[in-house]
């Protein structure tokens, strides 16, 4: 055996702040893993319990399960109608931040229309069908299920356009209250908003698009909307997530919204042609020349109580496209609510449950008994 002593390992020199640097690297790695999981997975949305009570083709009508005793519910039911090229889940994003949940807690008998995703066989569906075929059947079913001959309707985006035309064409169907959210109705100003400038241009031919594609792919519509604010939509949204990646509440909110945004569906070709040609290019609704199945849509015949909610920073539906209807409709009880925010944010953003929702609910509550 050697008489030499066993060498003792030297203690590595202590590098100032090295442990802090390692902690920071680990933290960045954890944040990146969380960021990657959030942007590549779907959150659980539309969780408020509901039951299907009607269906026609791809469309379904749901009734949310009441959460308050029958004696405490509002007498008049509320039907929510969203756009035809998006899922309606934005009205029920996540527990604790859901307009549907909010209204249920305040005693409304609440119904949701999901138009569904059109297939190739639905390429000829038009606003005529949505307004005069689907909605009347839905209303009849709603009245039967609720047991009430009157109802309120909330329409958002193109759902507001359809709701407006229905209210004018069927003023005696029992519609008492009409709430319009970011309603694209008046296209007289051809310079207002990117969509209007693009689609009203003579070079933009919707007929050719539909002839070649049939239904208009959701990806095409989604990209067009994002190109209105490309930096914000393609980069800013993800930068916002990264800046808040260590805030669980903010991450959950972003995840839910992104899940809804990614769930895109086509738009029926026939309806797309009408939207571009009859509305954006010719402004037929406000000109008084819009006809569905041979019936002229006369906005003077719209008599329901009207709340018109306008997003002041809306780049999809600029305020001027929603304002003009107030001077045309026959409603005696009518009000404009201007909200700071964008097309979706006024109902699904952080301030919605403190600003937009209470005003809508208060207005409706005073007219629902």
Candidate list 89, 97, 255, 343, residue with the active-site label: 343
For the question of residue 263 being annotated catalytic, the response is no
Which candidate in 157, 186, 255, 278 is catalytic? 157
Q: How does DSSP classify residue 168?
A: H
| Mode of pairing for the β-strands spanning 50-56 and 78-81 | unpaired
β-strands 50-56, 59-64 pairing: antiparallel
- At 354, list the tokens: 């403190």
How far out from the chain centre does Cα 136 lie? 22
Kindly give, in sequence order, each residue whose CB lies less than 8 Å from that of residue 360, ignoring residues fewer than 6 positions away.
Answer: 154, 179, 307, 309, 337
Q: Are 251 and 243 in contact (CB under 8 A)?
A: no
CA-based radius of gyration for the chain? 25
CA distance 19 to 231: 37
Catalytic annotation, pick one of 92, 122, 278, 314: 314
- Tokens in use for 253? 């909110």
In the chain, which ranges are E strands? 50-56, 59-64, 78-81, 110-114, 151-156, 175-181, 291-292, 295-296, 305-311, 334-339
The answer to whether 343 is a known catalytic residue is: yes
320 in catalytic set: no
Q: How far is CA 322 from CA 67, 136, 158, 192, 344, in A?
A: 34, 24, 12, 12, 15
E strand intervals along 221-341: 291-292, 295-296, 305-311, 334-339
Catalytic residues, by residue number, are 157, 314, 343
């Amino acid at each position: 055996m050697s008489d030499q002593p066993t060498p003792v390992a030297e203690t590595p020199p202590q590098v100032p702040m090295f442990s802090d640097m390692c902690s920071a690297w680990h933290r960045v790695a954890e944040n990146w893993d969380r960021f990657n999981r959030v942007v590549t997975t779907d959150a659980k949305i539309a969780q408020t319990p509901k039951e299907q009570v009607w269906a026609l083709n791809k469309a379904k009508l749901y009734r949310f399960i009441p959460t308050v005793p029958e004696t405490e519910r509002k007498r008049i039911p509320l039907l929510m109608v969203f756009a035809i090229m998006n899922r309606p889940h934005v009205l029920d994003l996540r527990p604790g931040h859901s307009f549907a949940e909010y209204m249920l807690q305040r005693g409304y008998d609440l119904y949701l229309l999901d138009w569904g995703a059109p297939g190739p066989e639905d390429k000829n569906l038009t606003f005529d069908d949505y307004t005069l075929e689907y909605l009347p059947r839905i209303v009849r079913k709603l009245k039967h299920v609720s047991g009430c001959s009157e109802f309120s309707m909330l329409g958002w985006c193109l759902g507001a356009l359809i709701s407006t035309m229905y209210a004018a064409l069927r003023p005696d169907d029992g519609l008492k209250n009409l709430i319009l959210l970011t309603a694209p109705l008046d296209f007289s100003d051809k310079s207002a908003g990117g969509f209007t400038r693009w689609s009203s241009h003579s070079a933009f031919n919707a007929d050719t698009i539909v002839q070649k594609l049939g239904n208009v792919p959701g990806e095409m519509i989604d990209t067009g909307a994002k190109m209105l604010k490309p930096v914000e939509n393609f980069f800013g949204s993800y930068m916002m997530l990264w800046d808040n990646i260590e805030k669980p509440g903010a991450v959950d909110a972003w995840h839910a919204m992104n899940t809804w945004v990614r769930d895109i569906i086509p738009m029926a070709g026939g309806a797309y042609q009408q939207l571009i040609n009859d509305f954006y290019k010719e402004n037929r609704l406000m000109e008084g020349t819009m006809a569905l199945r041979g019936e002229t849509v006369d906005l003077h015949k719209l008599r329901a109580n009207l709340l018109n909610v306008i997003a002041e920073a809306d780049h999809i539906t600029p305020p001027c496209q929603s304002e003009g209807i107030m001077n045309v409709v026959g409603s005696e009880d009518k009000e404009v609510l201007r909200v700071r925010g964008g097309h979706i944010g006024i109902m699904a953003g952080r301030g919605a449950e403190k600003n937009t929702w209470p005003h809508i609910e208060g207005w409706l509550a005073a007219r629902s008994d």
